Structure 1
Amino acid sequence: MRVVVPYAAREPKTRLEGVLSPAERASFAAAMLEDVLAAVRGAGREPEVLATAPVDVDAPVTVDERPLTPAVNAALAGTDGAVAVVMADLALATPEALADLFEADAGVALVPGRGGGTNALVARHPGFRVDYHGTSYLDHRRIAREVGASVDVVDSHRLATDVDEREDLAEVLIHGASDPPNADGAPTERRSYEWLDAAGFELAGDESRVGVVRE
């Protein structure tokens, strides 16, 4: 199985511009990418990065400056066999959660994100193509039906949590600090959690909602 991790190397995470400077957004996005790559490897797969510009990571990198949909569709069209697509901002991804996705044997397996997006998928049907505009989860279910592919929905809090907004940072601080140990019993290294902690972010909230503040 080919595992593709799309990555916006130019001006990443623009919706965090009220919280982080451009340089900080780039650094934090790189930390999340490293967490995703580590989780893919922990699930027994070798990831490759599909980036909009060259990036320095310990994985093969394909540079494609096109928007997400045509870039991913080119990867699907150019591959014989199953292709997994895992977004680079799944800061809480674990090998166990990804293994559940990779092992799904439907023609298309989908991980819905909050708000109707698609955070990860596995395409085994050769006719399936993506469309990441709008409510892509519903679009991908429709596309799968149109090409005659069976569909599995993988329900995973860790894979459903993508980090785009300020409130998403709280999820990283809550769950990144309590990751289960690795298979060898060692503590899980969560670079995105460590980045936020070092940058002075901490949890704060009232009785109804938890958010983040920065020291």
Structure 2
Amino acid sequence: MRAVIPYKKASAKSRLSPVLSLEEREEFVELMLNQVIDSLKETGIEKIDILSPSAYGLEGMKKARVLLDEKDLNEALNRYLKEAGEPIFIVMADLPLLSPDHIKGITSTKKDICIVPGKGGGTNALFIKNPSNYRVKYYGSSFLTHCSIATASGQDFEIYDSFLAGTDIDEPEDLVELLIHGKGAAKDYINRKFKLDVSRGRVGLVPV
């Protein structure tokens, strides 16, 4: 089994720009990436690839193999799957709430494919036992699309329903979930900049 993490550091996470500067966002995504890698390694997954359109921020990376591909994410991943020759775990880099236990649960599926839905119809992770028979299609409602692709390819699939694994960090309100439920370097970074605001009906953020 091999894990692959799509990743882009340059100008990352523009939707967090109301609360984090460009420099802060780039620092933050690097911390999240390393936390995902550490969780993978803790489960015993040693073959880890980072698939990126640029080497920016990946110079000197020792924890994983860096593969550069300037093509569209779907094109790059589908080429990767075609050439894989072994089960592949695709996991996004912005999942600091994803734990080793989640990874073990996802990759121990009895089905051909395990799909982890993200917020708003996205896909946070995919475990594919026969990658040469599967193609990904991210963006839009990719979760439903990936379910349909599995069915059309004659492969059975399981949905891994988890709030924590399904929480990708894209919007300022997602940082609230990180502060409430997270741990590790990504949470520590945000905790130095914000604290929880419980003065209103819904928990929010205020600068430290």
Q: Provide TM-score, normalisation by structure 1.
A: 0.90
1:20-48 C-alpha deviation (Å, 9 max, x unpaired)? 11111100000110110011111110222
Q: Distance in 1 between matches of 2:190 and 2:149?
A: 38
Runs of 4+ aligned structure 1 residues displaced above 2 Å come to: 205-208
Report the alpha carbon displacement of residue 15 of structure 1 after superposing the two structures with TM: 0.8
Q: Distance in 2 between matches of 1:26 and 1:139?
A: 30
**Identical-residue share of aligned pairs (%):** 37
Structure 1 gaps of 5+ residues are 178-189
Residue equivalent to 1:22: 22
**Alignment coverage as a number of residue pairs:** 202
Report the alpha carbon displacement of residue 107 of structure 1 after superposing the two structures with TM: 1.5
Report the alpha carbon displacement of residue 207 of structure 1 after superposing the two structures with TM: 4.8
Aligned residues of 1:9 and 1:52 also touching (Cα < 8 A): no
Report the alpha carbon displacement of residue 157 of structure 1 after superposing the two structures with TM: 1.8
Aligned residues of 1:10 and 1:52 also touching (Cα < 8 A): no
Counterpart selection for 1:191 from 185, 188, 192: 185
Report the alpha carbon displacement of residue 205 of structure 1 after superposing the two structures with TM: 3.2
Report the alpha carbon displacement of residue 70 of structure 1 after superposing the two structures with TM: 1.2
User: What is the one-letter code of the residue matched to 1:34?
Assistant: N
Q: Distance in 2 between matches of 1:31 and 1:93?
A: 13
The 1:105–1:75 alpha-carbon spacing in structure 2 relative to 1, beyond 3 Å, is farther
Q: Distance in 2 between matches of 1:65 and 1:170?
A: 33
Q: Distance in 2 between matches of 1:68 and 1:157?
A: 25
Structure 2 gaps of 5+ residues are none
User: What is the one-letter code of the residue matched to 1:192?
Assistant: A
Residue equivalent to 1:34: 34
> Which residues in structure 2 correspond to 1:27-176 (within 5 Å)?
27-46=27-46, 47-54=48-55, 55-56=58-59, 57=61, 58-125=63-130, 126-176=132-182
Counterpart check, 1:210 vs 2:203: yes
RMSD: 1.2
User: What is the one-letter code of the residue matched to 1:116?
Assistant: G
Residue equivalent to 1:181: none
User: What is the one-letter code of the residue matched to 1:99?
Assistant: K
Q: Distance in 1 between matches of 2:112 and 2:174?
A: 31
1:80-109 C-alpha deviation (Å, 9 max, x unpaired)? 121110000001111001110111131111
Report the alpha carbon displacement of residue 133 of structure 1 after superposing the two structures with TM: 2.1
Q: Distance in 2 between matches of 1:73 and 1:105?
A: 23
Q: Which moved further from structure 2: 203-212 or 152-161?
A: 203-212
Q: Provide TM-score, normalisation by structure 2.
A: 0.93
